[in-house]
Chain A
Amino acid sequence: METFISSYGNAFLGGLLIGLSALFLLVFNGRIMGISGILGGILNSNSRAEVWRYFFFAGMLLGGVVLQLTLPNAFENTLERSDFLLVIAGVLVGWGTRLGSGCTSGHGICGFSRLSPRSLLATGTFMLLGFATVWFFRTWGLT
Chain B
Amino acid sequence: MRQQLSALVCGLLFAMGLGVSGMTQPQKVIGFLDIFGAWDPSLLFVMVGGVLVYGLGYLWIKKVPKPLFAPQFLVPTSRHIDTRLLIGAALFGIGWGIAGFCPGPALASLVTLGRAPLIFGISMILTVLIFERIQNKKERVS
User: A residues touching B (Cβ–Cβ < 8 Å)?
Assistant: 7-8, 10-33, 35-36, 39-40, 43-46, 51-68, 71, 73-79, 81, 83, 85-101, 103-105, 107-114, 116-118, 121-123, 125-138
Contact = CB atoms under 8 A, between A and B. Distances in A.
Contacts of A65: 111
Q: Which interface residue of A79, A108, A122 has the most chain B CB atoms within 10 A? A: A79
Interface residues of B, number: 115
B86 A22 contact: no
A128 B85 contact: no
Nearest to A135: B36
B24 A59 contact: no
B69 to A, nearest CB: 5
A49 to B, nearest CB: 12
Contacts of A44: 132, 135-136
B141 interface: no
A30 B74 contact: yes
Given A95-B127, A134-B34, 20 more contacts: A10-B21, A19-B52, A25-B7, A27-B57, A30-B75, A56-B11, A61-B15, A64-B109, A64-B111, A66-B15, A75-B24, A85-B99, A93-B124, A94-B103, A98-B132, A100-B88, A101-B76, A103-B104, A122-B89, A125-B89
A35 B103 contact: yes
B57 A26 contact: yes
A60 B17 contact: no
A35 B131 contact: no
B90 A129 contact: yes
A74 B75 contact: no
Contacts of A12: 45-46, 48-49
A39 B141 CA distance: 24
Given A14-B18, A77-B26, A59 B10 contact: yes
Interface in B18-65: 18-28, 30, 33-37, 40, 42-55, 57-58, 61, 64
